[in-house]
Amino acid sequence: MNALPVARLQFATTTSLHFLFVLLTLGLVTLVAVMQTRWTLGGKPELLRMTRFWGRLYVINYALGIVTGIVMEFQFGLTWTGLSAFAGDVFGAPLAIETLVAFFLESTFLGLWIFGFGRLHKWLHLALIWLVTLTAYASALFIMLANSFLQNPVGSRLEGGTLHLDDFGALFSNPALTASLPHVLSAALVTGGFFVVGVSAWHFLKRTSEVEFFRRSMRIGVVTALVGSIFVVNQGFAQFGHLKLYQPDKLGESAVGAPLGAMIGLGFLMFLCAILGTLLLVKNWITRARFLHYLMVAAIPLPFIAAIMGWLVRELGRQPWLVWGKLRTADAIAGVPAGQLLFSFIAFSVLFAALAVADWVLMARVAKRGPDPVDEPAGLPVLSGV
């Protein structure tokens, strides 16, 4: 048995599942920060309840997404030792910074935000959620910095059979990063927006008594989904122009064609759904257009599917190179027997599937239960009543 396809499939599975958690986390934390900002400025109790409800869903998704991120980091050192040996001096720098940002700063700020509900001054508490948001975006930046280096290894020199970092600043101006990072961040906003809209639409279908709560939520979600969709489409096409600079033949690869077509189609479909959602707002049909409510609920998975297709386009087009033009994927794999890789792949796949199911079951229960009563204490009991 050849170990290479097993190792690639294992890492692709880990990365894809982690990417799905990250997208929703980035999108939701932005929306929660906006909701809390509006409450802090205006003081409307409905906005505080929205912060608590959507914040609870965000925290559940964040907590369960941590595990896949940790496993992904370990796989670099255990399965892809050739990458660490050849390009660790360059590739490891942004990953190390990301670890410090994500697992220390972001988690610390998030913990303070969770336990600070009703205990900290409202302006300090607001600053915490924005610090969580900024560190989350910084984490995404350094992950994409590392990935973009694999796509286009700038700022480095080959010496003694290994790559050495020459210019850390060049990593930030990498053409593989400048269009892809806004694309990923926009995709996160679309994911968060569609999630909020879909959950709100579900409650309208169930004839909720919380009409004002979910009307406000849907407004924020629709605007976010529309703005994000515009940027997703724009930055997606912008990447095609950048590809000519460092991977001119990528879009012609047969392996890229199928996911590329699905990604473009889903991008325009999401944009259409966002337009229809905007129509709900303009015509004030939010509580009456049941057909569109069904559509919005069904559209929740679209950003996730489109994100996986986009990730496949980005990664498959780089093969057979792991570091473009410098290190082949076949030369980067560790000398681990294929049987061991297959066993670990099956074990981790089962674990990740269980985590994904647990994540969605928990989030579905909290989402279906709806917001807390108006007189509920000001804390954030994440799993209360689950």
| CA quadruple 262, 264, 265, 270: dihedral sign | positive
Q: Helices (H) and strands (E) in the chain — how many of each?
A: 14, 4
Q: Are 100 and 355 in contact (CB under 8 A)?
A: no
pLDDT for the residue numbered 385: 44
pLDDT range class, residue 14, cuts 50, 70, 90 = confident
- Looking at every residue in the chain, the average pLDDT score rounds to 84
pLDDT for the residue numbered 44: 85
pLDDT for the residue numbered 123: 92
- For 259-308, the pLDDT digits (tens) are 777 878 888 888 888 888 887 777 676 667 788 888 889 999 999 998 88
pLDDT range class, residue 380, cuts 50, 70, 90 = low
Nearest in space to 21 (alpha carbons), one of 370, 363, 368, 366: 363
320 to 145, 253, 263, 310, 332: CA distances (angstroms): 20, 11, 22, 18, 11
Mean pLDDT of 220-236: 89
Q: Are 220 and 251 in contact (CB under 8 A)?
A: no
pLDDT for the residue numbered 110: 92
Rounded (10°) CA dihedral 354, 358, 360, 363: -170
Q: Is the overall model pTM greater than 0.85, yes or no?
A: yes
pLDDT for the residue numbered 332: 86
b/e for 26-52, b at 16 or more Cβ within 10 A?
bbbbbbbbbbbebbbeeeeebbbbbbb
Lowest mean pLDDT, pick from 5-14, 96-105, 255-264, 303-312: 255-264
Q: How many CA atoms lie within 13 A of 127 on its CB side?
A: 5
Q: Are 151 and 91 in contact (CB under 8 A)?
A: no
pLDDT for the residue numbered 127: 95
pLDDT for the residue numbered 256: 67
Strand, helix or coil for residue 158: strand
pLDDT for the residue numbered 133: 95
Helix or strand (DSSP H, E) at 323: strand 321-323
* Single-letter residue type at 308: I
162 to 35, 89, 156, 157, 323: CA distances (angstroms): 48, 8, 10, 8, 12
Residue 98 pLDDT > 90: no
Residues with Cβ < 8 Å from 130, sequence gap 6 or more? Answer: 33, 37
Residue 115 pLDDT > 50: yes
Ramachandran region of residue 297, left (φ > 0), alpha (ψ -120 to 50) or beta? alpha
More confident residue, 285 or 206: 206
pLDDT for the residue numbered 126: 94
Mean pLDDT of 80-104: 84
Strand, helix or coil for residue 164: strand
Q: Are 195 and 30 in contact (CB under 8 A)?
A: no
More confident residue, 56 or 235: 56
pLDDT for the residue numbered 386: 46
Q: CB burial class (10 A; 0-12, 13-18, 19+) of residue 180?
A: buried
Q: Are 175 and 152 in contact (CB under 8 A)?
A: yes
pLDDT for the residue numbered 104: 83
* Single-letter residue type at 341: L
